[in-house]
Amino acid sequence: MDFAGKVALVTGSSGIGAAAAVRLASGGASVLVCGIDPAANAALDRLASERGLALRTRLTDVSDEAEVEAAVAECAELGGGIDIVVNSAAVHPYGTVVTTAAADWARCMAVNVGSIYLTGRFAIPHMIRRGGGAIVNVSSVQGHNCQPNVAAYVATKGAIHALTRAMALDHAGDKVRVNSVSPGSVRTPILSLAARTYGGEGVSEEEAFARFGAAHPLGRIGEPEEVAEMIAYLASDKAGFVTGADFLIDGGLHAGLAVR
């Protein structure tokens, strides 16, 4: 996909967010990535420099209104507006509604869902002035079905599906398309957290990943770059008649029943 002349804002500087940012920049887009982890930001900046990509990071708390407003303004300066937003930033607390602390619940909602509201609030006016744009929200298979002990996380991922539909309908007349992707198990820092949480004593991360992957009909976990390809398609003009939809990237996880 050709993104020459396009300007993109991406939230999340590791995992799927980093892969999406690199994919868009590799296609010619000017990309600003908002991340809260200085080490992840630095690693992505180094990669962009090595590959000669028009990509830079900005230390940003995407749940903070003033910081997101400033980030959107900085992004718009890259090329006179904004054409693409990819919302990938997320946190993943574990717990039930009983065991999840109120602060953790609020933080999860503010980052995973609130950041999509904030980037939309400030970036969509720039898109409208450009004649349209595309927003891709990163949800999860856990917005459809879920594991135990992840109440806050799955609540946000289901909310992303609903918010995606609402934004798509509200801004279709503005030629702003809004879609979501729902990955299965993908090699990201969040999956590394899952490996540490559920892998078991003495089990390496790769061994845990292999077990997670075995639950998918394709027999493996996904790679961030595979999700980034779908994001790039949805952000491109090739998906000009696609809005308000969710796309599973789950290795066939939802195609069958667990019963054997």
- Residue 231 buriedness (CB in 10 A; 0-12 / 13-18 / 19+): buried
**35: Cα separation from own chain's centroid:** 12
Residue 153 is among the residues annotated as catalytic for this protein: yes
Q: What is the pLDDT along the chain (260 residues), one digit of tens a residue?
A: 799 999 999 999 999 999 999 999 999 999 999 999 999 999 999 999 999 999 999 999 999 999 999 999 999 999 999 999 999 999 999 999 999 999 999 999 999 999 999 999 999 999 999 999 999 999 999 999 999 999 999 999 999 999 999 999 999 999 999 999 999 999 988 888 888 888 777 889 898 888 988 889 999 999 999 999 999 999 999 999 999 999 999 999 999 866 55
Which DSSP symbol is given to 28?
T
SS (H, E, C) 42-97: HHHHHHHHHHCCCEEEEECCCCCHHHHHHHHHHHHCCCCCCCEEEECCCCCCCECC
Catalytic residue among 117, 153, 198, 233: 153
Domain ranges of the chain: 7-184+222-249
Superfamily of domain 7-184+222-249: NAD(P)-binding Rossmann-like Domain (3.40.50.720)
Instruction: Give the containing element (helix H, strand E) for 178.
Output: strand 176-183
CB atoms within 10 A of CB 39: 10
